Amino acid sequence: MKSVWDVGCANSLYHRALWSRRSVEQRETFQYMRRAIEEGRKAIPKCGDNPPVGCIIVRNGAIVAEGHTNAPGQPHAEAMALSQLRGVTEDDAVFVTLEPCAFDGRTPSCAKALIESGIRSIYVGILDPDPRNNGKGIEKLRSSGMSVEIGVLSDEISAELDCFLGKAP
């Protein structure tokens, strides 16, 4: 039986190139999210009951900022990473393990800070089940025109954060 690649030389070359590019982009996306997961682990134990979230900002294929959850009342992962950023370009992309918070509490809203930064692209591992978030951060980001991709390495991230989710005040 012929594969898709054996049908039509020009067409198959086009599809091979397309799939090859997609797989490279997907590998890079996974690589950056794995780096965000590693960054989040730095939050333990100082994060207390808060989830140990990791965040990195990538510009032109290089990590230019990183952050993780701090002690309660201190900057979240996104705020820590944004504080290291010197200017924003259209090529900047954020990789964060947990949905950015949509509300002002002990710290300002991370979704609002990301919007105000001018960053246009974000990859989110999992949604935050906290009723104050639970998709509200994603709604804010998308409403601002930001490109949002949810579910990158979601199984790995859920396994790491499951015991923390739902415990923060």
Which residues are known catalytic residues?
78
User: Is there a contact between 75 and 66 (Cβ–Cβ < 8 Å)?
Assistant: no
Q: Which residues contact 131 (CB under 8 A, 6 or more apart)?
A: none
Nearest-10 crossing angle of helices 136-143, 110-117: 20
Give the span between the Cα atoms of 16 and 18, in whole angstroms. 5
Specify whether the CB–CB gap between 169 and 49 falls below 8 A: yes
Helix (H) or strand (E) holding 27: helix 9-41
Q: Is residue 40 classed exposed, middle or buried when 0-12, 13-18 and 19+ CB atoms within 10 A define those classes?
A: buried
